[in-house]
């Protein structure tokens, strides 16, 4: 039997950090889809809270096959690397964030797209669902307008919020998530850029939709501008890190500066025109563009914005780094 006829073992990894209220509907949805691929997919929850706050919640699904691990090292990179380690004997690893809900058929579509193209990664759309009313400025900024593409489109990079990885290809390149970026974000940008720089392919699957819930505290001008800035800095920082030597790094920086030299004045003019004409959406988009290109420039020179920086919390009783189903039930008090 050829390798193409062997069905892959799939692990779906949910990364979570103190958002336990989001887990019940997500785990129900994932378990409903676990049987849509063969063999049945395993659902893994990686809790990055040192206090293990998700252990008791996940315990309600332990007897249905959901596995829980507690990654105490802070940062999303450490959590993603823990998922890679836990999926060491699997062929496919699918990342989904805890604030996302997959659409019907999501998992089967991702795996089917991987079968069709044999790519190292398959990314799907993450449309936004706003959980509170947003101002015309916030909605007009375009920050929540997620781009769609035809299925099969080749990508130069991707986020890891809705991403399938072919672990054989990932291992062949010796890749993991850079833990220097664990509290700043951009670890997925660097990882997927490394895939492409290593000669691997990332394909788009437009049918594999996972809807992201956007809470009220993100529906602010400050958050929009900070996210725009971080997105720009993540891209340029990844390209500089991959450049390899000082000459190439400065070449990347020169390209970034040239792009910014064109786009920043254009955005500034657009903002001025929108201000005079009282066009709120145009003004918001111009400011978001300015923030993005400011991030692009500063990221190219190593500036790091700690979007996921954590505040100290009171010491809590640790939970085991990994516990089996019976232990999860005990922790849950069941």
Query: What beta strand segments (E) does the chain contain?
Result: 10-16, 42-47, 66-70, 92-97, 100-102, 121-123, 128-130, 162-166, 202-204, 210-214, 322-323
Residues 20/45, Cβ–Cβ less than 8 Å: no
pLDDT above 90 for 309: no
pLDDT, tens only, 100-157: 999 999 999 999 999 999 999 999 999 999 999 999 999 999 999 988 999 999 999 9
Residue found by looking up tokens 């332990």 in the block: 62
Q: Quick one: average pLDDT of 191-217? A: 96
CA distance 72 to 153: 37
Give the E-state strand segments of 89-186 in sequence order.
Answer: 92-97, 100-102, 121-123, 128-130, 162-166
Task: Encode pLDDT of 241-299 as tens digits.
Answer: 888 888 988 998 999 899 989 999 998 888 898 888 889 999 999 999 999 999 999 98
DSSP 20: G
Neighbours of 132 (CB within 10 A): 10
Domain with CATH 3.90.550.10 in the chain: 3-219+310-332
Which has the minimum average pLDDT: 12-26, 247-261, 298-312? 298-312
CA–CA dist 98, 19 (Å, integer): 7
Structure tokens at 42: 């395993």
**Contact status, residue 114 vs residue 208, Cβ threshold 8 Å:** no
In this structure, what DSSP letter does residue 75 have?
S
Instruction: Identify the band that residue 27 occupies on the pLDDT scale cut at 50, 70 and 90.
Output: very high
Give the pLDDT of residue 308: 57
Token pair, residue 263, equals 């786009």
Rounded Cα distance, 269 and 320, in Å: 56
First to last CA, the chain: 45
Instruction: For residues 203 and 196, give the distance between their C-alpha atoms in angstroms, rounded to a whole number.
Output: 11
Q: What is the pLDDT of residue 267?
A: 87
Q: What is the mean pLDDT of the chain?
A: 87
Mean pLDDT of 187-196: 92
Q: What is the pLDDT of residue 180?
A: 84
> Is the pLDDT reported for residue 5 higher than 70?
no
- Whether residue 313 has pLDDT greater than 90: no
pLDDT at 184 exceeding the cut of 80: no
Q: Please, which pLDDT band fits residue 6 given cuts at 50, 70 and 90?
A: low
Helix and strand numbers, DSSP H then E, in the chain: 11, 11
Element at 191 (helix H, strand E):
helix 187-197
Q: How confident is the model at residue 317 (pLDDT cuts 50, 70, 90)?
A: very low
Cα separation, 15 vs 98, in Å, equals 6
Question: Does the 3-219+310-332 domain belong in CATH 3.40.50.620?
Answer: no
Lowest mean pLDDT among 47-61, 196-210, 277-291, 300-314: 300-314
pLDDT higher than 70, residue 333 = no
pLDDT of residue 176 exceeding 70: yes
Question: What does the pLDDT average to over 217-245?
Answer: 90
Q: What are phi and psi of 188, to 5 degrees?
A: -75, -35
What's the pLDDT score for residue 280?
93
pLDDT score, position 304: 65
Q: What is the per-residue pLDDT across 41-63, written as a single tens digit (0 to 9) for each?
A: 999 999 999 999 999 999 999 99
């Amino acid at each position: 039997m050829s390798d193409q006829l062997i069905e892959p073992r799939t692990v779906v990894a949910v990364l979570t950090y103190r958002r336990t209220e989001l887990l019940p509907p997500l785990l129900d949805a994932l378990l409903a889809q676990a049987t849509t691929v063969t063999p049945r997919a395993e659902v893994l929850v990686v809790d990055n809270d040192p206090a293990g706050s998700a252990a008791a919640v996940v315990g309600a699904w332990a007897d249905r096959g959901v596995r829980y691990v507690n990654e105490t090292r802070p940062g999303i990179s450490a959590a993603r690397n823990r998922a890679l380690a836990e999926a060491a004997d699997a062929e496919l690893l699918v990342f989904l964030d805890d604030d996302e809900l997959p659409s019907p058929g999501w998992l089967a579509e991702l795996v089917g797209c991987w079968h069709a193209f044999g790519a190292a990664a398959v990314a799907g759309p993450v449309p936004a669902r706003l959980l509170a009313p947003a101002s015309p400025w916030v909605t007009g900024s375009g920050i929540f307008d997620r781009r769609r593409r035809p299925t099969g489109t080749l990508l130069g990079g991707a986020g890891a919020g809705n991403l399938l990885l072919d672990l054989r290809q990932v291992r062949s390149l010796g890749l993991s998530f850079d833990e220097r970026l664990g509290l700043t974000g951009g670890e997925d940008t660097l990882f997927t850029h490394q895939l492409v720089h290593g000669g691997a392919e990332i394909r788009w699957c437009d049918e594999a939709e996972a809807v992201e819930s956007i809470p009220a505290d993100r529906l602010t001008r400050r958050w929009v501008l900070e996210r725009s800035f971080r997105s720009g800095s993540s891209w340029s920082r990844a390209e500089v890190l991959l450049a390899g030597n000082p000459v190439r790094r400065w070449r990347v920086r020169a390209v970034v500066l040239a792009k910014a030299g064109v786009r920043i004045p254009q955005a500034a003019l657009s903002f001025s025109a929108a201000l005079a004409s009282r066009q709120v959406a145009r003004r918001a988009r111009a400011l978001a563009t300015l923030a993005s290109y400011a991030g692009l420039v500063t990221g190219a020179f190593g500036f790091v914005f700690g979007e996921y920086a954590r505040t100290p919390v009171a010491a809590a009783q640790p939970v085991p780094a990994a516990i089996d189903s019976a232990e999860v039930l005990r922790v849950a008090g069941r």
